[in-house]
Structure 1
Amino acid sequence: MNRPSLAWKLYIAAFYAFLFAPLLVVAIFAFNASPFPSPPWKGFTLEWFIGSGEAFGKPGVLVDPIWLDTIANSFKIAVPVALLAVIVGTVNAWVLERAEFPGKTLLSMMMLWPLVIPGVVLGISILAFFSRVANGLEEWLQTDLDFLRPGLPLVVLGQLSFILTISTLIIAARLRKFDRSLEEAAFDLGASRARVLRTITLPFLSPALVGAGLVSLLMSFENFNTTLMLVGSEPPLPITMYGQMREGATPAINAVSLLLMLGVGGIATIFALTAKAER
């Protein structure tokens, strides 16, 4: 085997430096004993994580009610999105891979459209649509339908509109590899459809289901464009970070970013291990 040349090694080093140098700077200055999230370095501190606020006037992100509430809001969105993406994505994958009907190819292509539509446009479209629906239904029913107004439920629907496509593709790719003769053999031996699904099909799909759930959770947690158009009075983490940056950033932003990087990296690692087990 030929060893990589010096130029190739330098290219790889430059590539990874380009990717990770900004993240490394953010991680380092999350521990800076300074009220500003940038150089110079003034010493090591954990105040921006667990501090009471006596040193710099603001508590650390792990004890600050504002940051804790916004992280909780992100989970309130991401968990339902991930669950719905896996459930509905499994049904979609089953229809696309097992059913035959006119227009199937066209519908498969249309499913990809939310991925190429800008998130801002998607968010505005969903907001306008559900606002009109809410206005009509409220006038007809004479009651308030707050879940159709900007807020966490609408953010869940907005994110699901494009994350669902990703989960469907992941599950469909796994289902395409399934040997249907295993199901036929089980039917010949007297197994019911529900038992075949429970003992053969779903165990085979489980790596893809886990992977789709993790990817959906990750994409929901970091989404900004669509969420910005649909959020109400309970902003998730990306929206709060954006607001904090506009008001004047502190190293608390670096601390939150570091925690987010660790969480995302953990989820990505689990997904990679799941994909490896799938192969």
Structure 2
Amino acid sequence: MQEKIIVVADSCCDVGQELQKKYNIRVIPVHIIYPEGEYEDGVNIDPRIVYQRFPKEIPTTSMPSFGEVQKFLEGLREEGYTHCISIHVSDHLSGTVNTVRSAAEEVDGLETFVYNTKDISFGSGVYAVYAADLVQKGIPFREICRRLEEKREDSHLMFYMDSLEYLKKGGRIGNVTYIIANVLHMKPIISCDPEGVYYTVAKVRGSRQAKSKLLEEAAAAAGDRKCWISVLNGNDEEGGKQMLKMVRERLPQGECIYCNQINASLAVNTGPGLIGLLVFPL
């Protein structure tokens, strides 16, 4: 039987609509919850709305339900897909990957490989682009799965933000870390460790130092290798453009595959003033 493969990601992977269309990537949205109702991340809520309602209103998020995911996967099977590669953010930061794994077991006729990236945002989403690129090149399902496992530690995403207030409120960091950072006026450079848990790469003062440190870490991760790069921002488009210019000068061998605003689900937990930089050696 001929394979018909589809690549899926959850919306916390920050795979923008342009990439979705180019690579035929389907997205499972998480929910953004305000008092007036629920919105689907990347579907019917613009992240700019979230920023406009800060700081008076900070919504909550919830992962898609088992039933929603099962229906989503059944829909792919009805479209004629035989195999699915489902890419998700770290299970330490979201329960979506476990929900998808459980739902996939209940969907006959669609062989699904569920991939826990142990990362967040486009640090996860880049694996969906990588897998979808291989699908378009005609690489078989099992070979793509094998290559994903080989690339597991190749995504290097680091970011800084103007305030840790939103990470604290979302339970992503502890009170001690938050208080120390505020007292010392420090801005931590944050990434995910090999287990998919947030950790502090470095601490800097001010956005200029933060951008320089992001660039330094990215250059170390890339070396002389050809790589994909991505710059993300949280309501800081100008800062994102500045970061991209710096990266292109420092890493001429890098191909920028995505430069955009993060999704609403990430905005909820990080607040305004975020700059993120991804390097993915090829």
Which is richer in helix?
1
Report if TM-score (shorter chain) is over 0.5: no
Q: Which has the higher contact order (CA 8 A, sep 6+)?
A: 1
| Structure ID, larger Rg | 1
TM-score by length of 2: 0.30
Q: Structure 1 or 2: larger strand share?
A: 2
